[in-house]
Structure 1
């Protein structure tokens, strides 16, 4: 039985979710002769110690001690501002790194980190979990196989049931950067094409405090791909029906919808139609529970050298470039060309 030790930095909301998923990996990977151990740290000492005790994990007082303890991989689930230094620390230690998106607070700050990773032959997987969702995977397969024909329209939707705290929104960079960036990433990943232009509009009909910190609670972006294909990306903080994440792909032969199941946060206006009948998801954690688990299993496979990096930092930066353009368009009211940089 081979032991794999993962070190986790940060046990806030998403960090605790990753901690639970790492602990659950044994049930998935044990038949392959792998035994997963978790070590964690956080500046919130009491909470970190309790989380470790609850999961049978080991608590260490600092990031330095965590890395020095001999972990096989580093999982970063801290605030965005800390990502660059923690990524560098993992790269310096010569271990693969998993980091929640984004790489840094903005594209400008991300580029030196990406360069550092390359210069030091680092291995860093960024957390865009939708790439592991069964629906998105099937959509990509269907498109690449030619079953859909050529795509004429794409419509991506991400709507939260309730908004996050205004304190978070004040530093998140805006709705397109903290929410729709997942849609921008998945559209690039699925189609294999670049988004070259964005035209965005937004509104504020909810809590005025959201507008006061410079954000909007609802937004729509029209995106144009490098082959002329068009699509829309819409987002909202106030979808009372439930957490709603969908992607509609309309092709010349077939159309396909990701996220249309018994838990979809919508109802039909047609008579005698009771689909979907299930309870809608309330947060992203339930909607992407399977994807988050698969994402962490993929990180273990990356550590073992059994797969290519499923989400390199260059891809995350490319999605952030689109989000930046969308935010700029939202402010200026004009279409914005996406700075493609060296994203491919």
Structure 2
């Protein structure tokens, strides 16, 4: 091995951060296999590569034993003492057996090892870069569609949006830029596997962080998100400063901030509600834009019963139960909704304050299979 090769290894360490000692050890391990393969040898050998000059030695190894049973792996104590008088039973005797033409094989093997390690190092660098973007929003360019998977070019790696993570309202035209949520990054034998999502609730949260300075600065906090991708989402926000309106911050001047996100999501409706640590207030807010008259809660069963005006019952429930379903997901409470007239009807006194706990609801998120 020539000194130029050693210089190249040292340069790799400086430029790519690949530990040269790791490279030397990998080359030595590969050369053992190359020696046995090319010289039809079954004997135990150790290969030493001189770190300064690149000189290589193949050293045959035999264990010192009292009685030899395997001549390829063992040497008698008597023969060992003829080589060096202080050898004892159990010691390892090494004898150089470097073939004359081993240099060419060694050079080829070393080159292959270095190339392989460079590729591994590059894959590791790319993996580390993208694994830190997990649970974040990333922008890429749509490349193509393969077996219903959308392939997105992120620059250093191609990511995948599988069918389950695609929005029906997205067109995924080749060459178009797209924002997506990084769901998973994992190592493979080739380049890292990066899975993206356009349906994940985390996409909503991250888009608001990008668009709303108060969220990015930590003044406003996104406490909860519920989403039915491509149709409607609800987001509950809280302000750490009393003088800052969390809902107004997210809506933006003339609705500019939320409209930017709605446009990114192809018209998906977004309800922004104020978070509250009071479950009754939170549940009432979550059913926005409905006016809620009364909320009763059963904390033990995580259950809430809500009374709304008759003319707002359909609004509270939403199309196919969507509004109530999203409210239940947002608050993590099971929600029953009653109209004002039905609440009066089922109360013994004709007062909605006296509606019985087992009053029959007109909508129940408990019965909804998607809740």
Decide: shared fold, TM above 0.5. no
TM-score (normalizing by structure 1): 0.26
Q: Relative contact order: is structure 1 or structure 2 higher (C-alpha 8 Å, sep ≥ 6)? A: 1
Q: Which protein is richer in strand relative to its size? A: 2
TM-score (normalizing by structure 2): 0.25
